[in-house]
Chain A
Amino acid sequence: MDGLHDMGGRQGFGAVRYAPNASVFHAEWERKANFLYGLAVRLGIFNMDEYRHAIERMSPYHYMSASYYERTLTSLATLLVEKGITTQAELEAIAKGKFPLAGPSAPGRSNHPDRQRFKPGDRVWVRNEYFAGHIRLPGYIRGKQGVVVRETPAYPFPDAHAHGIEAENEPTYDVAFRTEDLWPDASDSAIVNVGVFQSYLQI
């Protein structure tokens, strides 16, 4: 889905708030959010693709204003409701206040019917496709050409895995793009390597 989570290349942001040795957690509730979602994944209540997609489905206003671990707890709560473990009303009664959840999901999809195998050095195109469900394709490479640098072992296909749809695992490819091709005349010269699922690519 073309959500605000797809941040790569967006403009208008200021300096990175950088601090070496920055702490990872700042409060106990953040630790709880992180380790409770991890527990739910380990117990098989949902998988990582479902977890990521429930964050993407948050209202754009909520996504942008929430801290990182508020996004975590919102995804966790949304999936506990969707899996029938609780209800929004029950959560709000216990929390003694409103409990905003993520919005509904669009349908998922299985692997692309025309998948090809690539090798390092192949020039490939990223399919110019728009898909409203979960997809691990950053918008900034859509329709762009790059060069394969590596094939990785097969992974669950996110577009299916986040939606409970059957699909074959498929390899991913690290594909090298030139910033000059991604943002002509509007970027620092560099190579950007992106991990791209096989279904998203064509010769």
Chain B
Amino acid sequence: MDDNQITSSGPASVEQRIDAIQFVMQAHGMDTISAIEKGHHLAQEEWVPRNGARIVARAWTDLAFRQRLLKDGKAAAAELGFDMPPHHRYLVALENTPNLQNVIVCTLCSCTAFSIIGLPPDWYKDLEYRARVVRESRKVLKEMGLDLPASTEIKVWDTTTDTRYMVIPVQPPETIGWTEEKLVDIITKESMIGVARLMGS
């Protein structure tokens, strides 16, 4: 199989290859067209970081919810109507403080709580982030624009099982007292992966 790559003809394009796969699956009675349409809808409309932002905003404004979220993230997400795929059996919410920064990675592939914080972006799946953030976390975060004081401890979470993680960023002090709806708008996917803080908090 490997010798395919060293023949002069070279591989078919990725477009030709995925179309061949789709043709074969369709010929075996699999409804590929609606799966692609449905997937497109899910990625655009349902697996969006705004879900996680709503969870975080609720956790900032409702202490009882925050406790439930820290105890059982999947159940707390379900309270707000957010599902996770069956193989994501457990969601762990990680609480940042001014002195603690939690950061999520998947060094072996690209595992993410995608139905909660959105599908992973390119940089999260790239080899650079996967190779480096476990070993050089402070340097990598600084390169990405998050220059943490030496007094801030870093905890990296490598997603090697089907447990999923999300970070609860620190609420910026100037937003204390804002409504939940207004808070949702400031919470980013990057802050829930743990590579960014919000409004300098």
Q: Which of B55-104 touch A at CB < 8 Å?
A: 87, 89-90, 92
Asked if A22 and B122 sit within 8 Å, CB to CB, the answer is: yes
Which residues from chain A contact B43 at a C-beta distance below 8 Å? Answer: 24-25, 31, 34
Q: Which of B2, B119, B130 contacts A7 (CB 8 A)?
A: B130
Contact-residue bracket for chain B: 35 or more
Asked if A24 and B118 sit within 8 Å, CB to CB, the answer is: yes
Which residues from chain A contact B125 at a C-beta distance below 8 Å? Answer: 68
| Nearest CB of chain A from residue B162's CB, rounded to whole Å | 6
**A interface residues, how many (CB within 8 angstroms):** 90
Asked if A7 and B36 sit within 8 Å, CB to CB, the answer is: no
Asked if B122 and A150 sit within 8 Å, CB to CB, the answer is: no
Asked if B158 and A17 sit within 8 Å, CB to CB, the answer is: no
A9 close to B (CB within 8 Å): yes
A100 close to B (CB within 8 Å): yes
A202 and B132 alpha carbons, distance in the complex (Å): 27
Asked if A188 and B137 sit within 8 Å, CB to CB, the answer is: yes
B15 close to A (CB within 8 Å): yes
Q: Which of B121-155 touch A at CB < 8 Å?
A: 121-123, 125-140, 143-145, 153-155
Asked if A16 and B128 sit within 8 Å, CB to CB, the answer is: yes
A21 and B122 alpha carbons, distance in the complex (Å): 10
A188 and B109 in contact, given A35-B36, A38-B35, A62-B5 (Cβ under 8 angstroms)? no
A46 close to B (CB within 8 Å): no
Number of A-B contacts (CB under 8 A): 263
Which residues from chain A contact B13 at a C-beta distance below 8 Å? Answer: 97
B195 close to A (CB within 8 Å): yes
A9 and B195 alpha carbons, distance in the complex (Å): 18
Q: Which of B16, B30, B123, B138 contacts A17 (CB 8 A)?
A: B123
Which residues from chain B contact A103 at a C-beta distance below 8 Å? Answer: 1-2
Q: Which of A66-95 touch B at CB < 8 Å?
A: 67-70, 73, 76-77, 80, 85-86, 88, 90-92, 94-95
Which residues from chain A contact B139 at a C-beta distance below 8 Å? Answer: 188
B172 close to A (CB within 8 Å): no
A97 and B13 alpha carbons, distance in the complex (Å): 8
Which residues from chain B contact A96 at a C-beta distance below 8 Å? Answer: 12, 16
A17 and B126 in contact, given A80-B21, A95-B12 (Cβ under 8 angstroms)? yes
| Nearest CB of chain B from residue A27's CB, rounded to whole Å | 8
Asked if A9 and B135 sit within 8 Å, CB to CB, the answer is: yes
Q: Which of B168-201 touch A at CB < 8 Å?
A: 188-190, 195-196
Q: Which of A136, A179, A183, A188 contacts B161 (CB 8 A)?
A: A136
A105 close to B (CB within 8 Å): no
A68 and B109 alpha carbons, distance in the complex (Å): 9
Contact string, A89-123, partner B, CB cutoff 8 A, digits 1/0? 01110111111111100000000000000000000
Q: Which of B107, B120, B135 contacts A183 (CB 8 A)?
A: B135
A88 and B2 alpha carbons, distance in the complex (Å): 13
Q: Which of A80, A152, A191 contacts B89 (CB 8 A)?
A: A152
Q: Which of B9, B38, B92 contacts A97 (CB 8 A)?
A: B9
A131 close to B (CB within 8 Å): no
Asked if A90 and B24 sit within 8 Å, CB to CB, the answer is: yes
Asked if A138 and B131 sit within 8 Å, CB to CB, the answer is: no
A76 and B107 in contact, given A9-B134, A188-B138 (Cβ under 8 angstroms)? no
A103 and B5 alpha carbons, distance in the complex (Å): 13
A187 close to B (CB within 8 Å): yes
Q: Which of A21, A88, A153 contacts B1 (CB 8 A)?
A: A88
Q: Which residue of A lies closest to B100 (CB)?
A: A191
